[in-house]
Amino acid sequence: MASVSQIQSSYTWQLHPEYIQNTPNRKFKNDYIMKEELGKGGFGTVIWCVTIDGRKELAAKINNSPDKKASMLMEADFSRDLSFDANNPTVRPHMNLVNIFDSITEGDIVYNLYEMASGGDLMEAINENEFFTAVDAAIAIKQILDGVHFMHERGILHRDLKPHNILVQGRDIQVYKVTDFGLCCKREPNGQGQFIAKAHGNAGTPQYQPPECHIPPNEYDTDFDIWSCGCILYQMLAGYPPFFDSDAAKLQASIRDVDFPYPSPEWENMADAKDMIDKMLAPIENFDQIDHTGARVYPKARYNRQTYAQLITDKFYTDGAAKHIRT
C-alpha cells in the first residue's frame, strides 16, 4: 500500500486546456455531463459531473443567483493562481488543496469545476469518530498546514479555515485538502515570506477567527490562518472547538484573551498536542505582557504565535510527518 508521502510525490493535476487559453463563449453542456447534487450552500449548488468522454469526475460549483457571479469569478481566479502558474510551469499544484480544473461563464451563471474528494469533509469525519487519535490528528494537521503554507507562498490568505472547508480524499489512506477559496485575499509577499502590507477586515467564521479580527486596527497576515489551523487541531482531538459561545460578545472576549480550556479526561496524556496548539492559539507578540495593574494580559499564553517555519520543527508535527511517510 502506498504511503501519503508517495501519493504526494506522484500527485499531478492539469487544468482544462481551453481554460488556460481563456477560450471564449464556451458551453458547459459541450464538455460536461451532470450526475447528481452533492450539496448546497449560500453561494449555490455543488453537482457531481463527468467530462463528456467519461474519463474525469469533478465537482461543479454553480452560483444560485446573479449577485453571486462576481464572488464566484473571484474564487475561480484565486483557485487558478493556486493550480497554475503561466510564468513558472515548474510550479506543481499542491496535493493538499482542492485544485480547479475549469471555469465556464454563461451569462450570469458560473460553473467552477474542481477535483472530486469523495470522503466528505473533516467535520463529518470528526462527528463520525467523535474525536481523532493523536496519531491521526498529527497526520491531518501536517497536511493541512502544508497546503496552507503553499497558499501563503503564492501570496494568498485563506481566511476561512474550519473543518467544513477541509475535504477528505481516500479511505485506507486519507488525504486532507483545503477548499472553499471564496474569502481569500491576495497579498504581495516580501523576501522573508511575510506580506508587504497587512490585510484588513473581519473575515471568516467567528469560532475560528483570531484575536486580530476583534482588536483595532484589525490587521493580520499569515498568522490569521495559523490560528484557524490551531482551532482545527484542537477540534480534531476534542470533538469540539476551543472557542464556542452563543453570546457573540463572550465568544469574542475569550478569543481576545486567548482563553480556552483543556478539560479532563479528553486532554490527559496529550502534552505534545497541547504544546503545538499553544504555539498556534497564541498572541501574535508579547504573550507575557503586563497590564497597568501588574497582571498578565494573557495569563494562559505560553508562546507568541509561531510561523509555519517554526511549527514544522514541533514534535507533534514531526510525528505526523513520520507517520505521513510510513502510513
Instruction: Give the Cα separation of 271 and 306 in Å (integer).
Output: 18
Q: What is the gyration radius of the CA atoms in the chain, in angstroms?
A: 20
| Contact call for residues 118 and 169 (beta carbons, < 8 A) | yes
pTM here?
Answer: 0.92
Residue position matching grid coordinates 508579547: 286
Strand partners, 104: 111
CATH 1.10.510.10 residue ranges in the chain? 122-326
Instruction: Give the Cα separation of 324 and 307 in Å (integer).
Output: 21
Binding residues: 61
Residue 33 CB partners (closer than 8 Å, separation 6+): 49, 50, 51, 52, 54
Question: What stretches in the chain show pLDDT beneath 70?
Answer: 1-3, 5-9, 171-172, 188-198, 323-327
Q: Could you count the other beta carbons within 10 Å of the beta carbon of residue 135?
A: 13
For residue 168, what is its C-alpha cell?
A: 477528505
Which fold is adopted by the domain 14-115?
A: Phosphorylase Kinase; domain 1 (3.30.200)
Strand partners, 166: 178
For residue 265, what is its C-alpha cell?
A: 479526561
265: cis peptide before it, omega within 30°?
yes
Instruction: Give the Cα separation of 158 and 166 in Å (integer).
Output: 12
What CA–CA distances, in Å, run from 139 to 129, 143, 171, 241, 289? 16, 7, 14, 19, 34
Binding residues for ATP: 61
Strand partners, 199: 220
For the chain, the helix, strand and coil percentages under 3-state DSSP, each to the nearest 5? 35, 20, 45
CATH 3.30.200.20 residue ranges in the chain? 14-115
| Contact call for residues 215 and 183 (beta carbons, < 8 A) | no
| Residues recognised as catalytic | 160
Q: What is the pLDDT of residues 175-193, one digit of tens each?
A: 999 999 999 998 766 666 5
Q: Which helix (H) or strand (E) holds 236?
A: helix 223-238
**CATH assignment of 122-326?**
1.10.510.10
Strand partners, 111: 62, 104
| Contact call for residues 119 and 174 (beta carbons, < 8 A) | yes
Half-sphere exposure of 242 (CA within 13 A, CB side): 30
